[in-house]
Amino acid sequence: MMINKILDDQEGATIDRLLGLIDKSPTAFHAADQLMKICLQAGFTPLTGKESLKPGDCCFLTVEDSAFFAIKIGENPLSSGFRMVGTHLDAPALKIKPNSLIQQEGVWLLNTELYGSPILTTWFDRPLSIAGRVLIDSGNPLSPEARLIDFRRPLLVIPNVAIHLNPTVNDEQKIKPQQMMLPIIALADGGTAASHDLLTLLIASELSVEPERLLDADLYLYECTPGTRLGLNNEFIQTGRLDNLGLAYAAVTALTESHTQTGINLVACFDHEEVGSRTSQGAIGMTLRDLLERIVINLGGSRETFLDRLSHSFLISADQAHAAHPNFADRSDPTNRPRINQGPVIKFAANRAYTTDGVSAAVFRKLCQAADVPCQTYVNRSDVRGGSTIGPLFVEHLPVKAVDVGNPIWGMHAIRETGGVSDQIAMARVLRHFFELA
């Protein structure tokens, strides 16, 4: 069943808000901040751990500035399990190293390293900017002040070498990150730009802070061209970081707009999925398990109540999926070939790289039917090793029934990815139905 159609005004506004959120979220730090603003506007309040929770409460928690959890408590919250959607906020990128300035051939370059597995060819000849988190001296050595920074203007470029000097550039060539992925930021003209404090001075000026107060920073490059809709009928979304901000946005808005019936509903947006999740704000950490147990105890339950409710819980691990590619048709499985704008995708893997089994797939299929949304299936070719996501890591510490799903996209891990407008609307509809189950 095709779901591609002309969007009504409300659906079109939803896609525009998604593109706006992505444009304002060049890093996981910024994404967590944008999701917090959505929740604040919906009446959610920060979770401090000191309040007494009750049915009807809506709250959120940010962890290490880059992971975000939103919770909605329904009636009889301890009578059923947790309904959870898990996503992640980080994306493959180039991270700026400490002591990053390199002078070469009359220009200043920034020394970078790879975060995750970006498609490196897509980073050449693009207008790049810088964003991230800056740590400032607060007077307390154990608690520096953290501020977000986003220059939101073209500052750098990683230029290709001319085809005349590299005639085999269109053949398969190995990209050497330490040599080839160093962006140019300025001419080395002997003035201010000649100082090895160039980046420090740039940051200090942007934040209106004395340079000597800057302690450290987590800075990333990103392509600063806004996302857009494209296609003859505007049926595609084309933007950076669609994996996985598209599904993080769908999950949080589904929760904030839902009419919660019973139990405890939660969206968990983790960081560091692209590099293994082995941090306190990653899916392997104990942050979410501890948070859920604290909520149960705060509501009058016990540890035994918490453990018992896990067996009645369900997780939708929502991360983007691979669409069958018209120019690389042989890269997809012969019989499981998701197509853009034909609905959300259930992801299977015999090696358990995805959590899906027959039971959890059946649950998600039924959710799609109830929401009047089609669904598709994805399995890797048997001779290709695929990726994974937070689902299997999540259930290591939280033994709950889980399914891995996503929306089909092209160019996953490219600097700009392409997905379907109707798929985005459909996934949000399914997730909202999930949260509104009685």
Going along the chain from its start, the domains and CATH numbers come out as 9-91+240-435 (3.40.630.10), 93-223 (2.30.250.10)
Q: What is the dihedral of CA 235, 346, 387, 401, to 10 degrees?
A: 140
Q: Between β-strands 82-88 and 314-318, what pairing exists: parallel, antiparallel or unpaired?
A: parallel
| Residue the block writes with tokens 């089994």 | 357
Q: What is the dihedral of CA 283, 319, 347, 395, to 10 degrees?
A: 20
* Residue 190, pLDDT score: 61
* Residue 51, pLDDT score: 86
Residues of the chain short of pLDDT 70, as ranges, are 1-7, 190-196, 260
* Residue 194, pLDDT score: 47
- Residue 44 CA to residue 72 CA, distance in Å, equals 9
Name the burial class of residue 252, with classes exposed (0-12), middle (13-18) and buried (19+) by CB atoms within 10 angstroms of its CB: buried
- Residue 152 CA to residue 134 CA, distance in Å, equals 16
